[in-house]
Structure 1
Amino acid sequence: MKTSRLRRLLTAALYAGLIMPAGLMPGAASAQVGGIVHDPRNYAQNILTAARTLEQINNQIAMLQNQTTSLLNEAKNLRGLPTSSLEELQAQVDRTRGLLGEARRIAFDVRDVQSAFEGRYKGAALTGPGAAMIANADARWKDSVGAFEDAMKVQAGIVGNLGTTRTTIGRLVGASQSAAGALQAAQAGNQLLALQSQQLADLTAALAAQGRAQSLDAARSAAAEAEARERFRRFRKAD
């Protein structure tokens, strides 16, 4: 490409009379016109030098254009996602935790569970005086009813989160599809993963509340059976 451009410049100079063919060129390589010495060969060399210089400038301009394009692309990749669902996700998690924290009778705490079982579900609670046995049986029934009520509250809260979750998913998917760069796409993906984690937390809370209710009801049944055996033993002893 460079050779062809130089050839075109030399041809143009030849037609313009700036370069003379070797057979027509006088013995002296220069001519004096009006007191100014004109050297055709030197003039042609200057043209070639100017052409090379222009080509270098064009190459530098192209290089700068490529660098500018690269910087613009990097700027897009570093542009942050304009939408954030972090506060919404945290609010949903806090609502679910709040519902779990409102657990009646026996809370989700190891020491509370241990204390309640020691006082109402085993040992002396099943072999004490008749009035105490009746009071403990009533307490166990209230534990079971309260646990099922807590489970239903948690489930209702999670169902209430579904509307917000659906809206959040639509917004994040739209942001991901219209992401201008790698950073925006990554941030949208991270927020979708956070949303998935929030849904798993809701599911875990629902399973925990449901399992707690079922466990307390099973414990109540077992305690009632043990209490019945104790009452029957006392009845036979009285005879």
Structure 2
Amino acid sequence: MKTRPRLLSVSLAAVLAGSLLLVQPATAFTVIDPTNLIQNTLTAIRTLEQINNQINQLQNEAQMLMNQARNLANLDFNIVNRLRSTLATTERLIAEAQGLAYDVTAMDREFARLYPDHYAATVSGDQMALDARERWKNTLDGLHTAMRMQAQVSQNLAQDESALADLVGQSQSATGALQAAQATNQLLALQAKQSIQAQQLQITQDRAASLELARQAAATERSREVRRRFHGDGTPYTPHPVRFYGN
């Protein structure tokens, strides 16, 4: 009978020992400091914010580089050759003008011959008639050149309208500052071309008007010379009464 209580004691001791062994790790946990935990959390948050800021900065720099690339992109459109072509057409019309040359030296020489301020006595009447015919031809040629220029400018307006539409489209679809500036420069080139063309047209019209005025002045001088020669250099005729049959 004494043996059984001893076994129970040994078993109970073993169970208690096992229980102590199981409970021992729970009592070994490290105590957490709340202040230290909050500080570590704030540090982690600040670190995360710095990383996000760096990411945003890199994204902004990438966008800035993309914008710079757009701003430096060249405009793949050039209208200068079209403008030069239409100007060359009007310049050709001026070069083909008949009559008095546009060259200053040649014009001065021909003008002095055909539009004199007075006729020398050695110039024959036939020569004066030939000169009058040539002056009339110069005036006609000047008017013809002016009308050809007017017709050509009228035709160029359709081309200018097409060029203007293309340039406006390029300007509106420009992706960067350089493309917009280049489109604007070509719009200014179109405006300059139209201004030059208007000056050319004005020159031909003024030339035609000047030729007509010069012709009229020369015709007046020719009439004066013809009248002078008709009267002659002697004593002009003076009327006096005539008596018939001694009356």
Could you tell me which residue of structure 2 aligns to residue 184 of structure 1?
179
Structure 2, unpaired ranges of 5+: 1-24, 237-247
Report the Cα distance in structure 2 between the residues aligned to 1:150 and 1:233, rounded to whole angstroms. 36
Change (3 A) 1:150 1:65: same
Q: Deviations over 1:63-87 (max 9, x none)?
A: 1011111111222222222222111
Report the Cα distance in structure 2 between the residues aligned to 1:60 and 1:84, rounded to whole angstroms. 43
Tell me, yes or no, if the aligned pair for 2:146 and 2:208 is still in contact at 8 Å. Answer: yes
> After the TM superposition, which residues 35-114 of structure 1 pair with which residues of structure 2 at under 5 Å, given as runs?
40=32, 44=37, 48-114=42-108
Report the Cα distance in structure 2 between the residues aligned to 1:38 and 1:231, rounded to whole angstroms. 137
Tell me, yes or no, if the aligned pair for 1:176 and 1:189 is still in contact at 8 Å. Answer: yes
Worse overlay, 143-152 or 79-88: 79-88
2:212 equivalent to 1:220 = no
Could you tell me which residue of structure 1 aligns to residue 243 of structure 2?
none
Q: Secondary structure at the match of 1:81?
A: coil
Tell me, yes or no, if the aligned pair for 1:126 and 1:133 is still in contact at 8 Å. Answer: no
Structure 1, unpaired ranges of 5+: 1-32
Q: What is the one-letter code of the residue matched to 1:105?
A: G
Q: Secondary structure at the match of 2:232?
A: helix
Q: Deviations over 1:165-224 (max 9, x none)?
A: 010011111111222122222211111111111111111111100100110111011101
Q: Secondary structure at the match of 1:191?
A: helix
Report the Cα distance in structure 1 between the residues aligned to 2:120 and 2:135, rounded to whole angstroms. 11
**Equivalenced residues, count:** 206
Report the Cα distance in structure 2 between the residues aligned to 1:237 and 1:39, rounded to whole angstroms. 145
Selected match of 1:204 from 199, 202, 205: 199
Q: Secondary structure at the match of 1:116?
A: helix
Q: What is the one-letter code of the residue matched to 2:60?
A: N
Report the Cα distance in structure 2 between the residues aligned to 1:39 and 1:148, rounded to whole angstroms. 112
Q: What is the one-letter code of the residue matched to 1:172?
A: L
2:225 equivalent to 1:234 = no
Instruction: Give the TM-score, by structure 2 length.
Output: 0.75
Q: Deviations over 1:92-128 (max 9, x none)?
A: 1111111111111212221122011111110565751
Change (3 A) 1:149 1:66: same
User: Could you tell me the percent identity over the aligned residues?
Assistant: 41
Could you tell me which residue of structure 1 aligns to residue 146 of structure 2?
151
Q: Which has the higher contact order (CA 8 A, sep 6+)?
A: 2
Instruction: Give the TM-score, by structure 1 length.
Output: 0.77
Q: What is the one-letter code of the residue matched to 2:151?
A: A
2:125 equivalent to 1:130 = yes
Report the Cα distance in structure 2 between the residues aligned to 1:38 and 1:111, rounded to whole angstroms. 113
How much is the aligned-residue C-alpha RMSD, in angstroms?
2.5
Report the Cα distance in structure 1 between the residues aligned to 2:136 and 2:46, rounded to whole angstroms. 98
Q: Deviation above 2 Å: which 4+ runs of structure 1?
A: 37-55, 123-127
Change (3 A) 1:120 1:39: farther
